[in-house]
Amino acid sequence: MTIKVSVIGATGRMGKLALEVIKGAQDLELHSALDSKSELSMAIGADVIFEATKLDVSREVVAFAIENRLNILVATSGWSENDRAELNADSAVVFVPNFSVGSVLGSKFAAIAAKHFDSIEIIETHHAGKIDSPSGTAIRTAELIAESRAEANLTQPLIPGVGQEARGEVVGGVPIHSLRLDGVSAKQEVVLGGTSELLTITHEVGSVQAYALGILHSIRYAAANKGLTVGLDKVLGI
């Protein structure tokens, strides 16, 4: 069965990569490639919408997909857990903050380690052109850390409580520091401190090609499933 995909945000970095992935996969077919001047109605008839835009546009696209019962794969960062919880869809709505398999594994490792440390912070670094901060990956990592610690009944706060207003943004009790610099694509460090030891879990991406395999798996997943899914880890069953 061929999966027809409509790419919204086709002129952006992730949109262009999605077009490459679709072209290179025998079971995928490009239904339409939309930019900021295109009508969303051009996506009707697709089996899956791949959406990589800006947050305000993303909200409109997701609402359109749900209204028209179209499966959608959301690559846009900035959606909060509360935003996602308010969605009610019969079709598939798949949120993937990061399509890198290595990044997903790094976040999982951090969640496992979080049960054994009470001092944890995240440093995420992206290219200077990335607008949103913290990154969707850092937010998802913080959520996984918080969930892991809650499952272990750990109540020790990670934030000392002094000067936290200058520490960056806090997600799920985990401080996140965001850097936007030239010369880097994407990098995340989860730093866990213990008595006389420091554990750092680092993942770095050299180019957008690192996301190709994750995009391919996620499109196929969105075409075959229903309801809300968050994270490449759920797509891959990690």
What residues are annotated to the active site? 126, 130
According to DSSP, the β-strands at 186-194 and 119-127 are antiparallel
Specify the DSSP class assigned to residue 70: -
Q: What DSSP string runs through the chain?
A: -PEEEEEESTTSHHHHHHHHHHHH-TTEEEEEEE-TTS-GGGGTT-SEEEE-S-HHHHHHHHHHHHHTT-EEEE--S---HHHHHT---SSEEEE-S---HHHHHHHHHHHHHGGG-SEEEEEEEEETT--SSS-HHHHHHHHHHHHHHHHTT----SS-SSSGGGS-EEETTEEEEEEEETT-SEEEEEEEEETTEEEEEEEEESSGGGGHHHHHHHHHHHHH--EEEESHHHHHT-
Residue 137 one-letter amino acid: T
